[in-house]
Structure 1
Amino acid sequence: MSTRDDITALEAAIGESIIGQRQVIRRLLIGLLANGNLLLEGLPGLAKTRAIKAMSRHLEADFSRIQFTPDLLPSDVTGSEIYHQSEAGSVFRFNPGPLFANLVLADEINRAPAKVQSALLEAMEERQVTVAGTTHKMPDLFMVLATQNPVEQEGTYPLPEAQLDRFLMHVLITYPSVEDEVEVVRLVRREEAAAQHREEPRPEPQQISQQSIFAARREIAEMHVAEPVERYIADLVNATRYPQQVSEELGRWLELGASPRASLALDRCSRTCAWLAGRDYVDPNDVQEVVHDVLRHRLGLSFEAQGEGISADAVIDELLSRVALP
């Protein structure tokens, strides 16, 4: 099997557990192959956690889940120095926390205070954690997948812009269609029936090796991006910084534009999207495919836009209609 066949098999395997969320599954794969962290937002019960667990089950990787709560401490996430006594002497040893895994699910990340949220920053950006003056490297395959509920704001701590910018994409999960919901009911019913026969050995799920992920990343790194497409990416991001030069509406709606991380994320996600489509080059459609997920958490909407009920996605739609295609 080729590397792309392995990734296609991984996508199909996740799809067997998640009904009606094909776009979410594709975004999970893009984040995995682009070596980035994802923020998944959706109402309770929309399979955010289930989708992440399904990916970890079919990937040869260590999985860790951290339930973020208001009383969580940074050391509960990163780990801490533990005092050990032995006949040879006494010594402090680092006891790794749940952050030291390949796939880390930060469940309801906005329920923990800023001090705990910031414990993730170094790991997300620099792939390392510093505790008691000692730096500990994260695994080669490392990805933070955070979830949050957009409705409940009582007792939550909104993520600061600095941390939001470290997420490669902000993925929104919506309600499934009626047909898909019927399939969800049937799927869960089958799983409940299978759970009643635990004495029968259950087949182990087929797992994709980490080497397939690294091989895919190498191929994606060699993707051709023509200069007009590079310019298109830069024009889109630059338009968020000087919106009044693009249109009057954007000038009223945008208060804060995207950082250079947005351009880098658009480039990486566009190349990954093109690779998944079986091409060795990037076209503007690949950029438009991922631009909402890349930019929606990086835009600072004005008070006027919020008062009018203008969403970040609506601003990006206006952006796409104003910035010329290459």
Structure 2
Amino acid sequence: MTMTPEQATWFSDVFERIVSNVDRVLLGKAHIIRLALTALFSEGHLLLEDYPGTGKTSLARAIAQSVRGTSNRVQFTPDLLPGDITGVNIYDQRTGNFEFHRGPVFANIVLADEINRASPKTQSALLEVMEEGQVTVDGVTHPVAGPFMVIATQNPIEQAGTYRLPEAQLDRFIMKASIGYPDHEATIRILEGSERKAHEIVVPEVVPAATVVEMAALARSVHVDASINDYVSRLVDSTRTAAEVRLGVSVRGALALVRASKTLAAASGRYYVTPDDIKSLAEPVLAHRLVLDPEAEFEGVTSSSVIAQILIETAPPIDRPAV
């Protein structure tokens, strides 16, 4: 059943209220807040490639508080083990049984700080829970509560002692973005509130967690016209044939773009996806999935510039999607 205009209006109102709520903590970053919430309501995960001290932890905590959810932060280090994230079975001598002790991944919003500092084995501990919303330990499956979102970070400058995320893991993130430093006006406002530490700031609840699950299901019902699917398919095909690209966007990437565009449409008060929704999300959803040719990288080509060029060369549908 397709989303109704009334449901789209309600969705947009709640979405903007959460944006305004989180903006109390992450000042002047409404765009990145909208991207993070688009990932949340698309039941996806967000990768932030950013410098230390730009508000990543504050973003995760404020989103969790806005939806009356829980949040955990995991500092990834080379000695971190998979069980430190997912949890482990511990033998109880009193009962003679093994008892599962949940790891920090059992929260609504999980901040995986500097994820590329952990070994590939530890990084892979997140693959199952990010894709299927569950953790399997010693053959026993433990589901995580919804909503569930991983916000992972990595430092774009400091690469010593890091492990590059494999393509299979990058593909699990619906988006990759950057918060960046605040502008002058936002910096002044932050300094004016310097008497309060970041972790002391608590934002009020906007909606309960159950409403987020309901909204995510509602976003899936946004109408996508056949011409939009054709447009996405042509964009994805172009990434696979571009001369600068060694590995293009997978089918999972195409699905992620459509899912995120549905959420963006609902957040804009519409019950149907437009080509502009696809265009605005193409770079954060698709760019990190590309593997560039080494020679192209040496010449300064970036994944973002490849996506930008493909958007220019690929004609969008000209007719308004029929609903």
How many Å separate the matches in 2 of 1:124 and 1:46? 24
Counterpart of 1:136?
A: 142
Which of these residues, 108, 118, 121, is aligned with residue 124 of structure 2?
Answer: 118
d(CA) in 1 for partners of 2:29 and 2:184? Answer: 13
Q: Which TM-score applies when normalising by structure 1? A: 0.90
2:25 match: 17
Q: TM-score, normalised by structure 2?
A: 0.91
Which residue number in structure 2 is paired with residue 63 of structure 1? 71
Contact 1:4 1:216 in 2 (8 A): no
Residue 54 of structure 2: aligned partner: 46
1:157 aligns with 2:163: yes
State the distance in 1 between where 2:65 and 2:299 align.
Answer: 43
Name the structure 2 match of 1:278: 269
Q: Contact 1:6 / 1:212 at 8 angstroms: preserved in 2?
A: no
Structure 2: 5+ residue stretches without partners: 1-8, 318-323
How far does residue 7 in structure 1 lie from its aligned partner after superposition?
2.5
Residues 229-244 of structure 1 correspond to what in structure 2 (within 5 A)?
Answer: 229-243=228-242
1:1-326 equivalence runs, <5 A: 2-86=10-94, 89-186=95-192, 188-189=193-194, 191=196, 205-243=204-242, 251=243, 253-326=244-317
Give distance in 1, aligned partners of 2:197 and 2:104.
29
- Counterparts of 2:311 and 2:144, CA distance in 1: 37
SS at match of 1:104: strand
CA distance in 2, matches of 1:132, 1:268: 33
Using the alignment, how far apart are the partners of 1:147 and 1:55 within structure 2?
Answer: 16
Change (3 A) 1:53 1:242: same
- Equivalent residue number for residue 247 of structure 1: none
Query: Displaced runs of 4+ in structure 1, greater than 6 A?
Result: none
Amino acid in structure 2 at the alignment position of 1:158: R
Following TM superposition, by how much is the alpha carbon of 1:79 offset from its aligned partner in structure 2, in angstroms? 0.7
Provide the alpha-carbon RMSD of the alignment.
Answer: 1.9
| 1:222-257 CA distance string (max 9 Å, x none) | 2111111111011111111122xxxxxxx1x11110
Contact 1:3/1:212 (CA < 8 Å) preserved in 2? no
Identity over aligned pairs, percent? 43
Match of 2:3 in 1: none
Q: Which runs of 5+ in 1 are unaligned?
A: 196-201, 244-250
2:52–2:155 contact (8 Å) kept in structure 1: yes
Question: 2: CA distance between counterparts of 1:203 and 1:288?
Answer: 35
How many Å apart are 1:203 and its aligned residue? Answer: 8.2
Amino acid at match of 1:213: V
Q: Distance in 2 between matches of 1:83 and 1:107?
A: 30
Q: Deviations over 1:14-52 (max 9, x none)?
A: 011111211110011101100001111111222122211
| Deviations 1:83-119 (CA, angstroms, capped at 9, x unpaired) | 0122xx4111111111111111111111101110000
Structure 1 residue identity aligned to 2:129: A
**Which has the larger Rg?**
1
Offset of residue 181 of structure 1? 2.2
Does the CA-based 8 Å contact 1:69-1:112 persist in structure 2?
Answer: yes
1:31–1:84: structure 2 CA closer, same or farther, 3 Å change rule?
same
For the 8 Å contact 2:120–2:163, the answer to whether it is kept is yes
Residues 100 and 139 of structure 1 are in contact (CA less than 8 Å); yes or no, is this contact kept in structure 2?
Answer: yes
Between 1 and 2, higher relative CO (CA 8 Å, sep ≥ 6) is seen in 2
Distance verdict in 2 for CA 1:189–1:203, change over 3 Å: closer
Matched residues in 2 for 1:163 and 1:46: separation?
24
Could you tell me how far apart the structure 1 residues matched to 2:195 and 2:37 are? 26
Instruction: Return the offset for 1:190.
Output: 5.4
Please state how far the C-alpha of 1:204 moved relative to its aligned partner: 7.0
In structure 2, the CA distance between the partners of 1:33 and 1:203, relative to structure 1 (3 Å rule), is: closer
Give deviations 1:53-93, integer Å, cap 9, x for gaps: 2111222111111111111111111111110122xx41111
